[in-house]
Chain A
Amino acid sequence: MRSRAATSAAPFATTVRIPFAATARSLPFLYAAVTIVLIWQFVVILTKPDPSVLPQPITVAWTLGHLLRDGELGLDTAYSLGRVISAWLLSAIVAIPLGLLMGSSRRLERLINPFVELLRPISPLAWIPLAILWFGIGESGKIFVVFIGTFFPMLLSTIAGVKGIDPILLHAGQVFGCTTRVALFLRVMVPASMPSIVVGLRVAFGTGWAAIIAAELVAAHTGLGYLIANGMDILRADEVLAGMIAIGVLGFLFDTFFRYLQGRYARNAG
């Protein structure tokens, strides 16, 4: 009797609970979005600004729909995303191995850390003029800027990951046969610092996304940054705002995706 009641209740519970949990999680964001739109609308009603300065929310929604339909938004997103991903990958290829080495060798850290500490405070945006001088407004300059923006979060996170390894795990690695430094490095240090590396990848994607928009504002003919810069040039605040919304929503989605990966990884990694 009891078991039958349990089995008949189970499918109901699972089909109902999962969408409910997803809705519950997105509720705070929905609340924030609705509030922003309401305040915006309110300001428009009260101050009656020139639409080329601050259009109505509905106008922006209209423009956004238009940009989506004629494929312009999709194309610019693809450009921006392509740049971020290539620079982010390039950065990962350099920063993660370097971070692993710096985290495990005090001598190497002492050698390289001063450079990191000197260069890190220079915002990736401050590199944009130099990038234009060096590379012109082609792809390499923008990738260079995003590389700078993604490099330090990844490097620091990787170093912290290695340094945060419980020494007892290193002992266990040695006891169970990692007799050389290389074996211990590959078999224990690298996997043990993986959760922290994933955090670095996520944070870096965020800073990279911010950096590419900035780089495209000043040095591009494509990309979401160019889209909003162009909107400014032709006095179309609705296009600027539509572009900004796209940037925000995409950034939020990427971060949510990385958080999901991180959660999965953490579950596998304990």
Chain B
Amino acid sequence: MSVVARLSANVRRQGEGLDLALPYLLLAPAVLFAFAVLVYPIWDGIRASTMSYRYGKAVGWVGFDNYTRLWSDPQFLNALWVTVSFVALAVAFETVLGLALALFCANEFRGVRLLRGILIIPMVITPVVVAIVFRLIYASDAGMLTVVSQSLGGGPVEILGHPARAFLGLVALDVWEWTPLEFLILLAGIQSLPVEPFEAARVDGASPWRVLLDHTLPMLKPVLAIAIVLRTIDAFGTFDQVFVLTRGGPGEATKLLSIYGYDTAFKFQDTGYAAALFVTMGLLILAAALAAVRIMKGMTPP
């Protein structure tokens, strides 16, 4: 028998019976698990969004009625608007601030390691705890802001009871908590940039400002885009802090989609409508993320 023939016989024997099935058998538990915790809930949510519920019980199939209802529901449109402005404002601040801190901490100086460590702390605190701490700061009777204001001779500071200030207060909380994430991603990005082009730019006559605009930012674009997309997706789903601080109030001023959806599902027991809301929200985020990735691809040279 020639060598080639013997080898191919071997191959055939190897591909028989258990050998063929083994990879699939090994994969099966993981696939089942993924189905149970990922695919099934999503599927169930989509199914629920096409049903009508009364007192928490499904009473019939209504097709896309829940979805069409959303777009004529002023509360939903308001929640969508509040969410989009919250996300835009928070992520913008977080990115600019995170970038500034990252640029500063990318330099080597005494104590920079400690500073980097301290800057990450807000991110690792449990969100609900952060919210409680901020409630202590914002409280109008004995909150920190009021105490400081009074010691300076001013009056009590009303934050959470005032629509615009409550909204900005939540943005401030989000910025405090999540700027560290942007900082961390961007710091890693900056530190992985090559050193030589920056030296070349300095020799070529660029001022620090020009170096930032002409080199740092363009080279950082992909990382910057990832940081922004990541934060945007995450900010869309903000819930705990708002729930603890304002529950969406005063009025509808801080009613994010997540809070409105929660109310719909658990206060008004309109599970189908809430499911439609969350599926829509998921699709919006997905569309935004895809658009962002598209733009990112367009920005990076071939």
A, B bound: no
Tell me the B residues contacting A by CB distance below 8 Å: none
